[in-house]
Chains A and B, each alone.
Chain A
């Protein structure tokens, strides 16, 4: 998974069935220290996260299809956790 921050959200009316009733967020990958690290992209929320939250994103379709129990889900990036703390190993 990768560590990222939720930057904003994407609203769509016309969409694939696999995206029905799901929140799509713009996410910005982060370094462990919380600095922006690379280009932002889109991820579907599955952990009740919101803008400003630091999250973990799973980017592997097969795992996502199992989590969502949807064998035809077109989702490739799924927010699977809201991160409270990233603690360095001292």
Chain B
């Protein structure tokens, strides 16, 4: 599960039946500091995220479980649109510890 930024849309008419009706977005994995990490990935989307949105992506079997039909050939899926990422710069121990 990682953060990613939506950078595009993927349209495919010729595809296996399992992928019919699934919205495919191109996402670029990023760190919590926004720095790009690795290569873009195509992820299935149910959250209707738009271009430029920061999203939370899950992968492998769990990605298929995001979809209404759990038996679809999907290995990356968006599970949420991220509003904020708070990073504790000092790495200080949690207050309640």
Contact = CB atoms under 8 A, between A and B. Distances in A.
A7 B32 contact: yes
Contact of A76 (B58, B83, B88): B58
Interface residues of B, number: 37
Contacts of B79: 15-16, 18-19, 74
A49 B94 contact: yes
Interface string A39-67: 11111100001111100000001100000
B80 A15 contact: yes
Contacts of B59: 76
Contacts of A8: 32, 85-88
Interface of A: 5-16, 18-19, 24, 26, 39-44, 49-53, 61-62, 72-77
Interface of B: 1-3, 31-32, 37, 46-48, 56, 58-63, 65-66, 70, 77, 79-88, 91-97
